[in-house]
Structure 1
Amino acid sequence: MSADGVDAFLEMLAAERGAALNTLKAYRRDLDDLGTALAVEGASLPQASARQLGAYLSGLAQAGLSARTQARRLSCLRQYYLFLVREGRRPDNPASMLEAPRLGATLPRFLSEGDVDALLAACVARADAGAHEVRRMLVARTALEILYASGLRISELLSLPRAALERTTGMLLVRGKGGRERMVPLSSRARDAADELMRMDRPLRSMFLFPGRNPLRAMTRQGFDRILHDVALKAGLDPQRLSPHVLRHSFATHLLSHGADLRALQVLLGHADITTTQIYTHVLTERLQEALRHHHPLSEHAPA
């Protein structure tokens, strides 16, 4: 084990909890940053006190880091020091009693159903377009149909293998965060678009549904963002309002507004904890208010 135990801690997260690569990188940056701050005081990462950790977190707030970033760093510290306790490296967890910053209740941005329709309708190449533009618009249509029909994360979408779409079932097997697998629905429109794209891309001999410039690799997030930007402009939408995550939020919001329940949505989105899915309860609240306005006997909008 390294002197500070960081390598072993990250290996444990990867092996036992299936932590994503981005999570591991973020946690290493967090611990490196704390280690640098402690070194200024002549202290070491494994032996930090609760006072020193509290001062470090206060410094993050004073430096203008968001409450969400502060909360993530505190979560990292709690897990790291708990790991050291379990490994017999120290007798206590100095981060266990530190208070997390209060997170504001921010509602996710989402598109209206009309905006989604406009976006999908814009995924059509001009009549005089060349083969490159025709394929580009087909990629856009396939990706947007799948994102909106299935609520995938962009990382899940771009890593989809062709093999996952070659089956005729109306469900799609997705590998999500931490390597967890789940089944999500695939609409007939998404299925048809994917079939057309796979036929067009057959000469590339790529294993990915969305190959990059190098067919041996998947399309990058940046490459997809450029396509999405162009489609947004064609649809008359502000590209700054649009992202793959906004489409995921739109999928969730529209499902709930049409009667889906929160537990089903949790499964479809691949959330490990129902509390993550509860950011969408604003939709349920609006639906209840609407029902009261139209059906409560004392409401002025209720039918006579």
Structure 2
Amino acid sequence: MRAAAAIETFLEMMSAERGAAQNTLDSYRRDLEDAAAFSAATGLQLTLAQPATIRAYLDDIAERGFAATSQARRLSALRQFFRFLYTENIRADDPTSTLDTPKKDRSLPKILSEADVEKLLSRAEEETQDAKASNMVHFHSLRLHALLEILYATGLRVSELVGLPVTVARSDNRFLMVRGKGSKDRMVPLSGKARDAMAKYLALRDTLPNLSGSPWLFPAISESGFLARQVFARELKGLAARTGLKTSAISPHVLRHAFASHLLQNGADLRAVQQLLGHSDISTTQIYTHVMEERLHRLVTEHHPLAD
């Protein structure tokens, strides 16, 4: 089987059997087509590649400046692709089975302090109370405040947040039912402040004729029909600047990290945080273990009778 046909068949399987999201499928396609082009340059279809070819490809992307995390992601795509070829009897072996994953540097997530998050949320709330603001400016301030309160209360991925259906706000909104990666549903609790911000935003949203009929909580004129992640990120950085915070250190993803870290700092269980974040593997959540280590160290030094 030629590489192009094998890649298409693999992607169809990932979509139909594993429910892979479109972004995931696009990422696999880019990675596999790049590997196929490299293999073809050596005179082999990717479907016939040997371990030496895969190693040479990994060396090539390293020389092109790809980070260890990107190299590991590409090797993961190739592993799944060749495992698929093997299980479907398209080839008799898996050339990636003996390859080691490139070692990734363990980087700690950027987070905001609780005080900085409070400043950000307070500023967002203040801007919703500007009596001189036009109706559209008032709408944007209510929307941004609702987005931030929901994000910090739930730790949603930004794609999950902007793509929330409006039905979640019209039901029992003490909890949100969220559809995450791999079309997996999870339930996350919503704070009183987040519910209040969402209700105020929704009250104005429902009066706007061009928005009230949208199925999305945060509708917009876009291909998807809802607010673009980039627009939210831009508005967040603008708010950070007006709050006096360093804009380069703030993004929707940083607020997701803040949600997780602040929960752990205040005694939450790592497994509970894993469930709230929608991580399928606890190892993904373990980037936050440094927070737990600090908390345990403080617990011992403050409460152990023999501590200095």
TM-score (norm: length of structure 1) = 0.95
Asked if the contact 1:147/1:247 (under 8 Å) is kept, the reply is yes
User: Is residue 2:283 matched to residue 1:287?
Assistant: no
1:151 & 1:141 partners in 2: Cα distance? 15
Q: Corresponding residue for 2:135?
A: 131
**SS at 1:184's partner residue?**
strand
**SS at 2:47's partner residue?**
coil
Aligned pairs for 1:1-304 within 5 A: 4-123=5-124, 124-125=126-127, 126-202=130-206, 203=208, 204=211, 205-213=213-221, 217-300=225-308
Look up the equivalent residue of 2:112 and give its one-letter code: L
Structure 2: segments with no counterpart, 5+ residues:
none
1:73 & 1:215 partners in 2: Cα distance? 29
Asked if the contact 1:13/1:19 (under 8 Å) is kept, the reply is yes
**SS at 2:8's partner residue?**
helix
1:258 & 1:160 partners in 2: Cα distance? 28
Superposed displacement of residue 263, structure 1: 0.7
Asked if the contact 2:222/2:228 (under 8 Å) is kept, the reply is no
Superposed displacement of residue 214, structure 1: 5.6
1:90 & 1:213 partners in 2: Cα distance? 47
Deviates more, 1:260-269 or 1:163-172: 163-172
Asked if the contact 1:111/1:247 (under 8 Å) is kept, the reply is yes
Deviates more, 1:233-242 or 1:44-53: 233-242
1:229 & 1:284 partners in 2: Cα distance? 29
Asked if the contact 1:160/1:210 (under 8 Å) is kept, the reply is yes
Alignment RMSD (CA, Å): 1.5
**SS at 1:122's partner residue?**
helix
Superposed displacement of residue 41, structure 1: 1.1
1:225 & 1:131 partners in 2: Cα distance? 22
**SS at 1:46's partner residue?**
helix
Look up the equivalent residue of 1:131 and give its one-letter code: N
Superposed displacement of residue 2, structure 1: 6.5
1:214 & 1:28 partners in 2: Cα distance? 24
Asked if the contact 2:265/2:295 (under 8 Å) is kept, the reply is yes
Superposed displacement of residue 213, structure 1: 3.2
1:71 & 1:86 partners in 2: Cα distance? 22
Look up the equivalent residue of 2:163 and give its one-letter code: S
Superposed displacement of residue 13, structure 1: 1.1
- Tell me which stretches of 4 or more aligned residues in structure 1 moved more than 6 Å: none
Asked if the contact 2:2/2:45 (under 8 Å) is kept, the reply is no
Look up the equivalent residue of 2:7 and give its one-letter code: V
**SS at 2:108's partner residue?**
coil
Superposed displacement of residue 216, structure 1: 7.8
Give the count of matched residue pairs: 300
Deviation digits for residues 119-177 of structure 1 (CA, Å, limit 9, x no counterpart): 01111334422222211111111000000000100000011011111113411100001
Structure 1: segments with no counterpart, 5+ residues:
none
2:139 & 2:46 partners in 1: Cα distance? 52
**SS at 2:177's partner residue?**
strand
1:246 & 1:253 partners in 2: Cα distance? 10
Deviates more, 1:74-83 or 1:288-297: 288-297
1:71 & 1:215 partners in 2: Cα distance? 32
Deviates more, 1:127-136 or 1:81-90: 127-136
Superposed displacement of residue 74, structure 1: 0.5
Deviation digits for residues 219-255 of structure 1 (CA, Å, limit 9, x no counterpart): 1112112211111111111111111110000000000
2:278 & 2:222 partners in 1: Cα distance? 30
Superposed displacement of residue 63, structure 1: 1.5
2:29 & 2:173 partners in 1: Cα distance? 41
Deviates more, 1:68-77 or 1:192-201: 192-201
